[in-house]
Amino acid sequence: MNETEKRQPAKGPAKEEEATAPLDGLQRHIMPFGPEAPLRLDSGESLSPFTIAYETYGALNADRSNAVLVCHALTGDQFVAGPNPVTGKPGWWPNMVGPGRPIDTNRFFVICQNVIGGCMGTTGPMEINPATGDPYGKDFPVITIGDMVRAQAMLIDRLGIDQLFCVIGGSMGGMQTLQWASAYPGRVFSAIPIATAARHSAQNIAFHEVGRQAIIADREWRNGNYIAEGTSPAKGLAVARMAAHITYLSEAALHRKFGRNLQDRERVSYGFEADFQIESYLRHQGSTFVERFDANSYLFITRAMDYFDLAADYDGVLANAFRDTKTRFCVMSFTSDWLFPTSDNRQIVHALNAAAANVSFVEIDTDKGHDAFLLDEPEMISTLRGFIDSAAQKRGLGK
């Protein structure tokens, strides 16, 4: 987007700085932060100017106490509950967010922001670097989960919201949720980190590194300058997505869905076509992903996840990240999630217990793996509905 677009008249609940900008023809919320409001980064650098692209659903109540911040995962975006203008598909969490859903848009004011470093309108490596006039590319500053959350808090300030009723997210969204609760304890009434960890494991870093090397190995990546040079590291990005996608599913789910079933053939081809359904499925995941995601964003956001280690700022004592917290927590994991296994989530619970926090923990029995949090998992839905309803009553938001 250009400056003209950013300066269009404000709409919706935000202050006068806000504007909307066309994104593939649809008007979307874009909040600009000018030179007066730089984003301070953990690296010591700062990012300025920058914009945050976000969506809202429902209405903010009079005392601004019913706001729910939904944090998206690595390849997610702000279109949590409405149609995605890029893919044309429905929002990514239709079972959780919407009228009558656990995060009920008839009741709550739901905010979902594209993270810093992303590629859906928030400032990231594909946006223009004002210092050069070219896209940032590889020169975008390396960001952290803390930076993402700091930017989000600046938007929440602009929206005039002091305390969020709830911060919720799965996977990287859960990391942001933990970071919110730790960095802004007074601003988070309740927090729901799902299928996540307080720090990225060696195995998770390893899978991310494979994805990054697949992108960097693609000659079309051009040292990060592919936009300026008119190329696209689509093949490398597709390989990265394929590798990652395996980690989102459980072995049991892959066996149940695909097994060794052949794709559109009676017998193997004795060649390198996608003989097996699982191959065809993975190739499809790779090829559709590159249509909606930026390769450099993938590099920067995976790096932010790798760097996440919430206890590191507290001499390795995770409980101290939550000292004196009054936030109500609901931590959730899935039995077949091997990317962020129950043990990772239990570490969060143990730390919260050690901090004498108000925390409930639920492990959902499912064979759907890490992706379960995005799916219609009845026990997850009913558990979160119960927790959110109960927290809403305590917040004076009873039905």
By CB under 8 A, tell whether 370 contacts its own copies: no
Q: Of residues 70-129, which lie at the interface with its own copies (CB under 8 A)?
A: none
Residues 159, 174: Cα–Cα separation, whole Å: 22
- 8 Å CB contact between 28 and 21: yes
**Minimum CB separation from its own copies for residue 341, in Å?**
8
Q: Which is nearer to its own copies, 213 or 382 (CB)?
A: 213
Q: Which is nearer to its own copies, 245 or 385 (CB)?
A: 245
Residue from 195, 242, 351, 355 binding its own copies (CB under 8 A): 242
Q: Which is nearer to its own copies, 89 or 256 (CB)?
A: 256
Residue keyed to tokens 């009676």: 266
Residue from 7, 11, 15, 260 binding its own copies (CB under 8 A): 260
* Catalytic hit among 171, 190, 250, 297: 171
DSSP state letter for 221: G
The pair of structure tokens assigned to 108 is 């709550």
DSSP state letter for 363: E
User: Could you confirm whether 370 is annotated as catalytic?
Assistant: yes
Helix (H) or strand (E) holding 99: none
Q: Which is nearer to its own copies, 150 or 200 (CB)?
A: 200
Residue from 29, 72, 150, 303 binding its own copies (CB under 8 A): 303
User: Could you confirm whether 171 is annotated as catalytic?
Assistant: yes
Q: What are phi and psi of 117, to 5 degrees?
A: 95, -10
Residue from 130, 259, 378, 396 binding its own copies (CB under 8 A): 259
* Catalytic hit among 200, 336, 370, 371: 370
- CA dist 24 → 1, 90, 164, 296 (Å): 11, 16, 30, 21
User: Binding segment for its own copies among 21-29, 78-86, 182-190, 282-290 (CB under 8 A)?
Assistant: 282-290
Q: What number of other Cβ atoms are within 10 A of residue 249's Cβ?
A: 23
Residue from 46, 87, 132, 213 binding its own copies (CB under 8 A): 213
- 8 Å CB contact between 128 and 121: no
Residue from 12, 95, 276, 375 binding its own copies (CB under 8 A): 276
* Catalytic hit among 218, 337, 344, 371: 337
The site string for its own copies over 324-363 (x = CB under 8 A, - otherwise) reads --------------x--x----------------------
Strands 109-113 and 50-57, how do they pair?
Answer: antiparallel
Residue from 46, 87, 106, 203 binding its own copies (CB under 8 A): 203
Residue from 34, 134, 210, 326 binding its own copies (CB under 8 A): 210
Residue from 8, 231, 232, 258 binding its own copies (CB under 8 A): 258
**Minimum CB separation from its own copies for residue 239, in Å?**
5
Which of 60, 61, 63, 101 has its CA nearest to residue 82? 101
Residues 344, 353: Cα–Cα separation, whole Å: 15
DSSP assignment of 308-348 equals -BGGGGGTT-GGGGGTT---EEEEEEETT-SSS-HHHHHHH
Q: What are phi and psi of 56, to 5 degrees?
A: -130, 155
- 8 Å CB contact between 353 and 359: yes
Residues 224, 242: Cα–Cα separation, whole Å: 21
DSSP state letter for 128: B
- Reply yes or no: is the peptide bond before residue 49 cis, omega within 30 of 0: yes
Q: Of residues 131-160, which lie at the interface with its own copies (CB under 8 A)?
A: 138, 141-142
The site string for its own copies over 19-58 (x = CB under 8 A, - otherwise) reads -----------------------xx-x-------------
- Which residues here bind its own copies, judged by CB under 8 A? 42-43, 45, 138, 141-142, 199-203, 205-207, 209-210, 212-214, 216-219, 235-236, 238-239, 242-243, 246, 251, 254-255, 257-260, 268, 270-272, 274-276, 278-279, 282-283, 286, 299, 303, 306-307, 309, 338, 341
Residues carrying an active site annotation: 171, 337, 370
